[in-house]
Amino acid sequence: MIYRFVDILNAAGINSAVVHRSKNFRCTWFANETIVVGGKDIRFGKGDLLVLPEWYRELLPYLAPGVPNVVFNQNAYETYSDVPYTRGTKAPVLSSDTIGIVGISEDSIEYLRLCFPDVRVDGIRLSIDSDLFHPSPKGKSKTIAYMPRKRLKELNQILHILESRGSLDGWELLPIDGATEAEVAGYLGGAAVFIALNEREGIALPSLEAMASGCVVVGFRGSGGKEYMEPDATVPIGDGEVAWLVAALELEMRRFEDEDPGQIEMSKKAISLVSSRYSPERERDDVIAVFSEALARVAEVTPGSTHLDVKFLPPTDVERKKIAQRLSRKNINL
């Protein structure tokens, strides 16, 4: 998302770049030619705006003191989740230089406005690339896809129950993990069913991608998923209700085998919902509007720092290995 926002802004004539610790690093699990710069090469000037992810939390005030910033919050529920509470003390998860927060779902925006009533909170509706995520032209197979990195305890229960009941006979299980964006799209395009294991998160994009790919999405809405996991387009299950989820899965598996017209119509509604609400055009308009407004508010601001404190930036894998080697020589585990 960060890379895509930068591409959108540059295409609109707003100079932007992704900052990594090293200028030689870029994310490669999705195709991109995004402008990337190294943290050491940053020099802040009048009217510059720094956009920071929410997971910096208490480090936010130290990255670039005196430089106006906007927090791009992709998971509102992580804002305070790992921050110890001290009575009478407000946790410094924003800085005095924070001029706004950007959320990515109706639920997140509501949460953030509750947390920070004195800070401007804007929303950007993300998009799903229908050129990438769509049903396979070869059709759907008897495959159940899921992402094992989410809610593993519930997932284990679901799969064990299905196995013990013999419900998986003739069906393939497809755990999706460590795959590129294109590979994920290919897997979802051919899968009949997707198990949604959403919890407290910003928007739960995998479920949206599965809907766009024509999968029957069965599972937990989580918080962000409330705005799109509708009963006529998906099969939403009450949070944590494993037995109901298994029963719903078995029903949808049978409906797929029977080529149930109702299920086919549900998949079509899911595809239509995603393409209409989560379009690239809407995302582009939101990104340009939100960040143009923020830049206008800091146009005359001279930053209090000229440099970014790179020691707070996440190390690359190569740097992490070098740090680990240095620490191992001192018998310190990273």
In tens, the pLDDT along 20-63 reads 988 999 999 999 999 999 999 999 999 999 999 998 888 888 99
Please list, in sequence order, all residues whose beta carbon lies within 8 angstroms of the beta carbon of residue 332, skipping any fewer than 6 positions away: none
Q: Strand runs (DSSP E) across 177-323, as ranges?
A: 191-197, 216-220, 235-237
Asked if the structure places residue 132 within a domain, the reply is no
Tell me, yes or no, whether 94 and 10 share the same domain. Answer: yes
Beta bridge partners of 38: 20
Task: Give the residue from 240, 260, 277 where a domain finishes.
Answer: 277
Asked if the structure places residue 113 within a domain, the reply is yes
How far the first Cα of the chain sits from its last, in Å, is 29
User: Which band of pLDDT confidence, cut at 50, 70 and 90, is reported for residue 150?
Assistant: confident
CB atoms near residue 252 (< 10 Å): 20
CA distances in angstroms from 62 to 44, 222, 316, listed in the order given:
15, 33, 20
Tell me, yes or no, whether 84 and 164 share the same domain. Answer: no
Task: Give the residue from 235, 251, 277 where a domain finishes.
Answer: 277
Specify the number of domains making up the chain.
2
**Nearest Cα to Cα of residue 130 among 229, 214, 236, 240:** 214
Contact call for residues 174 and 187 (beta carbons, < 8 A): yes
Task: Give the residue from 262, 277, 292 where a domain finishes.
Answer: 277
Asked if the structure places residue 194 within a domain, the reply is yes
Tell me, yes or no, whether 182 and 271 share the same domain. Answer: yes
Tell me, yes or no, whether 116 and 162 share the same domain. Answer: no
Tell me, yes or no, whether 266 and 320 share the same domain. Answer: no
Q: Which long-range contacts (CB under 8 A, 24 or more apart) does 257-264 make?
A: 257/142, 263/216
Tell me, yes or no, whether 303 and 323 share the same domain. Answer: yes
**Pairing between strand 36-38 and 18-20?**
parallel
Asked if the structure places residue 32 within a domain, the reply is yes
pTM here? 0.87
Give me the amino acid identity at 25: F
Q: Phi, psi at residue 189, to the nearest 5°? A: -60, -30
Tell me, yes or no, whether 273 and 284 share the same domain. Answer: no
Question: What single DSSP character describes residue 302?
Answer: P
Asked if the structure places residue 73 within a domain, the reply is yes
Report the CATH number that the domain containing residue 246 is assigned in CATH: 3.40.50.2000
Tell me, yes or no, whether 237 and 291 share the same domain. Answer: no
pLDDT digits (tens, 9 = 90+) for 68-113: 999 999 999 989 888 888 899 888 899 999 999 999 999 999 999 9
Domain extent at residue 171: 141-277
Tell me, yes or no, whether 33 and 153 share the same domain. Answer: no
* E strand or H helix that includes residue 324: helix 317-328
pLDDT digits (tens, 9 = 90+) for 163-191: 999 999 999 999 999 899 999 999 999 99
Tell me, yes or no, whether 170 and 269 share the same domain. Answer: yes
Asked if the structure places residue 121 within a domain, the reply is yes
Give the mean model confidence (pLDDT) for residues 184-201. 95
Asked if the structure places residue 55 within a domain, the reply is yes
Asked if the structure places residue 33 within a domain, the reply is yes
As a whole number of angstroms, the distance between CA 21 and CA 323 comes to 14
Tell me, yes or no, whether 215 and 291 share the same domain. Answer: no
Tell me, yes or no, whether 174 and 261 share the same domain. Answer: yes
* E strand or H helix that includes residue 53: strand 50-53
The pLDDT assigned to 134 comes to 97
Q: Which long-range contacts (CB under 8 A, 24 or more apart) does 306-310 make?
A: 306/43, 306/44, 306/45, 307/42, 307/43, 307/44, 307/64, 308/19, 308/39, 308/40, 308/42, 308/44, 308/50, 308/63, 308/64, 309/62, 309/63, 309/64, 310/21, 310/39, 310/40
